[in-house]
Chain A
Amino acid sequence: MRSYFIKLSIVILATSFLMVPLPLIAEETVKIGCLLPFTGPLALEGKQTWEGINIAADMQNDRGGIWGKKIEFVKGDTTTPDSAIAEAERLIKVDGMKLIVGGYSSSRTMAASEITEKYKTVFWITTAVAGPITERGYIYLYRYNAPSGYFGAVKAQFVHDVIAPKLGIKPQDLRVAIIHEDTLWGSTVADVEQPECEKLGMKVVVKKGYSAKAVDLSPLIMTLKAAKPDVVLITGYVNDTNLYYRQCKEQDFNMKAFFGSGAVIGHPEFLEAQGKDANYVLTLSHKAVDPKRLSPEGRAVQEEALRRFKEKYEVANPGSLHLVGFEAAWNLFHYVLPKAGSLDPEAVRKAALEFDKPYNDSMIGIGCKYAPPGHPKAGQNLRAQMFTQQWQNEKLVAVWPEAIAEAEVMLPMPTWDERKKMR
């Protein structure tokens, strides 16, 4: 009798172990597509954006997910523009995605957005800078970041309003040099920087493009030396910006102000490569703004997000792409989708257009309001902006605009000799 009960209990125990995993397998998730360059020349940028999106998903999942279900991603790898098409098609037509997050790289985003718009799938673009993306009147795409034209205009304005007075030079006497890498990113920003600077009365003494794959920029630096600019505006990628700055030191070329665009200079890699020499360098990009300027909600989100970046990805100082990826995704997962009630594109669109976020609720101090259909920039986040930051004491601090500034701009930059003495 006893042995019979023992056997029975063993059998019951065994089968109960089998049963436990089943509900987990059957659990429903909210499947969202993610189109990013995971491989190829833009793999680094794709990875960073992905990490941002992921942290947002983790945070939402820990809050019960969306509509009680966990978020699950289906990835599409946009290594090349034609693979962007293939992957977009696959995500929509094979995997049945109704919503896609991602972007990065304007050529890939342009190609993919043709597909998403055709199949009426919402494309939630975190980062892609080409202006035309939101100038086609497409109603299913929503771009979070500011387009490249914005960079150029704002930088020029900053030079005029802040840098010139700080240097004690009148704008009419200020000599500005513009250098940029020669693909879409650098060219479009520089193409706006130049006329904007000139409109504000400043002299553009050099405007030169270079290849981001350059191994040596010394001829460029010598050209700049000859032109004697006060301010140098750069738009490039991490690699070439680092190379340029290093070679400036090597060639003993001094700049009174050095102002970059986008994720590059704020990147921890810049600090890593330049060390103390990174100090005084300016950049127009994103950062986790001073919590004191944020609302309680904004502060809470920021604190948690930063902690998670550190824990999950060992990123102590998330760069621009991390942050924008996070913010755009967080808006989607935490506000827009719950409001929409389902993945139905029309519902999502409605919720997206109604979404109205003030800047201080956002951990990066950027509000969100998408331009509605009919607006010349339909789909663009009209509140997208960037902040000027400066490396001070090996920390990146926001210096402009006033609303979120943490410190004063420190200019002019010391010369290389002065820096040596400061060590």
Chain B
Amino acid sequence: MYFLSRDTLRRIRRPQGYVPLILIIVLGLSPLIVRNPFYVHIFVMTFFYAAMSGAWNLIGGFGGQLSLGHTAFFGIGAYTSTLLFLNFGISPWIGMWAGALLAALTSAGIGYPCFRLRGPFFCLATIAFAEVLRILAIYWRGLTKGGVGLIIPSQPSPINYMFGGKLPYFYIAFALMIAVILVSIGTERSRWGFYLRALREDEDAAEASGVGATRSKLYAMMVSAFVTALGGTFYAQYLIFVDPDIVFSLHFSIQLAMLAIIGGVGSVAGPVIGSFILTPLDVFLRGWLGGLYAGVSFLVYGLTLLVVVIIMPFGIWVWLKGRYHSTLAKLPEISLRPAPAGVAAAASIEQPLAAFGSERRRERLLEVKGLSVSFGGLHAVSDVDFVVREGEILGLIGPNGAGKTTLFNLITGFIRPDSGQVILDGRTITGVQPPNKICRKGIGRTFQLVKPFNNLTVLENVMVGGLSRSKDVERVEAESLAIVGLLGLADYVDVAALNLTLSNRKRLEIARALATKPKLLLLDEVMAGLNPKEINKAIELVKHIRGQGLTIIMVEHVMKAIMSLADRIVVLHHGEKIADGPPAEITKDRRVVVAYLGEEI
């Protein structure tokens, strides 16, 4: 796992590492100073909500799926461990794992059909699921005692997960919070974290780069549900009373999301900050103002939420992060002995693309036979046949609307064909979906309108592609650096993609596709929008890539590029292939001329 390496020790020596560590230790020792149980209770609740919100953040923030139904998992956790304890005498310490597993499975059941729903709709679906559970909890009185709720008789003892004093609860909540923080850090730095970030940026581009959208999100959802359920057991044991309105409460779901949002959604620190500010605030407001007039404290709370969301929609952390890091930069590093200079990067990869086009040399790398698809009455692609040989550059041209991009989409798994076959390297891949599977089989592609992961850096963009081939983040980082260099983007390694010029974004798109180590690269109008100088450079680049052993299909309108690059050209018109041959032949072909220029000439 990522942290147990020597790397962790290196990290701790830096202020970014030891400052949080010191804070955690101080926090952990605080009960020795703050003895008043009221304040200890505030800490307990703060840790608890930080943990729960952090768990939510795994799917809501990192995964980008706004769930407002997390109370479902919370309730499952609370009820499972409590029922096992009351009916079978099983210690909640054991029961809580059962609850967590059940919650994780339930979350998969909810997530799988619902992930493809857009933001607000996914949100509503999760609310509905949680409500269903709440109603069932009320209705199944035989099991849950319905609205009456379950009382856990007070028998303090460690085995019973019940304690007389507050301190044990403090430490359990603390441990839960730390665990969630560690899981979040691990997620952020792991391959899985990359995937989730890429998915949040652009799901199609991520799929094309080998990221399994459903798989990644499911994973995040299940971990999130698992931890939330553990929290449910904790709460049940703290309150020693469980009823449907408490543990299946929409308000609770909203609270979890709210804390993360105010603190900074999608970051590790966000939920923690959110909880540390809002939980005590809630308690104090109620203490101060609650006595005044009913409703004032919540009014203030609601106004705070409104203001933060409108002014700082990405949360407080985004605003704070800069200051935090610049303050830390002023602190010294703890050095024991001089660390060896970054070794990893030096393992430079001379031929990053060398792994391609090896093994069997097949004449026909890609075969397309009789491929067709219609949308309503429109025959977008109609009975298209062609072959691509290994190592060649095939040009795919035709007037606008001829079906070129649709053809790409058919080959790469974005659309299912109505009929026909696509055979890659001797194996049929017709209709294989989702697109990430095609990517893993060795086809990489770019998009006509470039789809970079805007908020990721150039390097991170490319790494997403690379991670489809290897789980080793460090190695992928090194390989990606090399590819970035190859495509002339070395100066922009840490620049966010959205800040690049168009021509650089196109290079980035290609770099990302190359990182997936494809056998076949599909380029969709990479020359569009480039000035003549940039076009020349791009032509050189494509030649170089082919020289490294890749096979390329390129859709283009820029004739100069096609003529100088293509070994063969296929011409599409109204979805049908009308010509197929070397460039010289194609330019003279009457049908092609007519297609482009019309009959009269």
Contact = CB atoms under 8 A, between A and B. Distances in A.
Interface of A: 38-39, 43, 46-47, 74-77, 79-83, 85-87, 89-90, 92-94, 107, 110-111, 114, 118, 132, 136, 181-184, 186-188, 191, 209, 211
B111 to A, nearest CB: 28
Contacts of A181: 147
Contact of A182 (B147, B164, B239, B246): B147
Contacts of B42: 86
B138 interface: yes
B38 interface: yes
15 contacts: A39-B294, A39-B295, A47-B294, A81-B246, A82-B239, A86-B38, A86-B286, A89-B38, A94-B38, A107-B245, A111-B239, A114-B154, A114-B240, A182-B146, A187-B147
A75 B151 contact: no
Contacts of A38: 290-291, 294
Interface in B29-56: 36-39, 41-42, 45
Contacts of B153: 136
Contacts of A76: 290
A184 B287 contact: no
A82 B246 CA distance: 9
Interface string B234-266: 010011110101100001000000000000000
A86 B45 contact: yes
Contacts of B138: 182-183, 209, 211
A157 to B, nearest CB: 23
A77 B287 CA distance: 8
Interface in B130-164: 138, 141, 146-149, 151, 153-154, 164
Contacts of A90: 38, 283, 287
Nearest to B283: A86
B298 interface: yes
Contact of A132 (B41, B151, B298): B151
A262 B314 CA distance: 49
Contacts of B291: 38, 74-75, 77
A93 B295 contact: no
Contacts of B154: 114, 136
Given A86-B45, A187-B146, A188-B148, A77 B164 contact: no
Nearest to A91: B38
Given A77-B290, A182-B138, A187-B147, A107 B243 contact: yes
Most buried by A among B41, B42, B246: B41
Nearest to A47: B294
B398 to A, nearest CB: 59
Contacts of B246: 80-81, 107
A85 B166 CA distance: 12
B297 interface: yes
B134 to A, nearest CB: 10
Nearest to B243: A107
B236 to A, nearest CB: 11
B297 A39 contact: yes
Contacts of A87: 286-287
A184 B141 contact: no
Nearest to B235: A82
A110 B294 contact: no
A187 B148 contact: yes
A86 B239 CA distance: 11
A32 to B, nearest CB: 13
B298 A39 contact: yes
B36 A79 contact: no
A85 B41 contact: yes
A409 B554 CA distance: 93
A74 B45 CA distance: 23
Given A80-B246, A182-B138, 14 more contacts: A38-B291, A39-B294, A80-B251, A81-B241, A83-B283, A85-B238, A86-B283, A93-B37, A94-B39, A183-B243, A183-B245, A184-B147, A187-B146, A211-B138
B147 to A, nearest CB: 4
Interface in B215-251: 235, 238-241, 243, 245-246, 251
A74 to B, nearest CB: 8
B294 A43 contact: yes
B51 to A, nearest CB: 14
A90 B40 CA distance: 11
A112 to B, nearest CB: 11
A211 B239 CA distance: 25
Contacts of A74: 291
Nearest to A38: B294
Nearest to B154: A114
Nearest to A136: B154
Contacts of A111: 239-241
Interface in B260-313: 283, 286-287, 290-291, 294-295, 297-298
A107 B245 CA distance: 10
B241 A110 contact: yes
A107 B241 contact: yes
A34 B92 CA distance: 34
Nearest to B141: A187
A191 B148 CA distance: 10
A177 to B, nearest CB: 19
A114 B38 CA distance: 14
A74 B138 CA distance: 35
Contacts of A79: 286
A378 B276 CA distance: 41
Contacts of B297: 39, 77
Nearest to A90: B38
A330 to B, nearest CB: 22
A119 to B, nearest CB: 8
B41 A86 contact: yes
A76 B289 CA distance: 10
Given A81-B246, A82-B45, A114-B240, A107 B149 contact: yes
A89 B41 contact: yes
Rank and list the top 5 A-B pairs by shortest CB-CB distance, nearest first: A77-B290, A183-B147, A89-B38, A75-B291, A93-B38
A113 to B, nearest CB: 10
Nearest to A46: B294
Contacts of B295: 39, 43
Given A77-B286, A82-B239, A184 B149 contact: yes
Nearest to A186: B147
A96 B490 CA distance: 66
A80 B283 CA distance: 12
Contacts of A132: 151
A211 B131 CA distance: 13
Contacts of B294: 38-39, 43, 46-47, 77
A38 B38 CA distance: 20
Contacts of A83: 283, 286
Most buried by A among B245, B251, B286: B286
Interface in B405-433: none
Nearest to B299: A39
B36 A94 contact: yes
B389 to A, nearest CB: 69
Contacts of A136: 153-154
A76 B291 CA distance: 7
Most buried by A among B141, B148, B164, B291: B148
